[in-house]
Amino acid sequence: MPLNFSKTQTEAGNEIRIILWGPSERTIANNETLKESYKSLGGIKPKACVNSAKAQGIVEKLSKDFELIPVGEYIAKSIGEGYVTITF
């Protein structure tokens, strides 16, 4: 569902940001099909929480396809810039 929503929004000309955090990081890190799906979002490189990835021991797996950052500050900054959060 999040992938379809993201594709629809980008095709409609809306700028989106995708952030993975917590258990979703492990799911993506261990699923090549999902990783490929996120790569098909047309230039959007999803972010993932570096601290969560470290805690789960999946930094190496995620860093190839996702930008690892401390997401708390990034989310706060994005909201300040007018982005609206939607969670799945």
Residue for token pair 């047309």: 42
86 assigned to some structural domain:
no
Structural domain boundaries enclosing 75 = 2-80
Tell me the per-residue pLDDT of 11-48, one tens digit each, with 9 for 90 and over: 898 889 999 999 999 999 999 998 888 877 777 788 99
Please give the average per-residue pLDDT across 54-64, as a whole number: 95
66 assigned to some structural domain:
yes
69 assigned to some structural domain:
yes
Q: Is the pLDDT of residue 78 over 80?
A: yes
Q: What is the rounded distance in angstroms from the CA atom of residue 36 to the CA atom of residue 79?
A: 28
Please give the average per-residue pLDDT across 8-13, as a whole number: 88
CATH number at residue 13: 3.40.1260.10
Please give the average per-residue pLDDT across 62-73, as a whole number: 93
85 assigned to some structural domain:
no
87 assigned to some structural domain:
no
Residue 39, token pair as written in the block: 């790569």
Q: How many domains does the chain have?
A: 1
- pLDDT given at position 10: 85
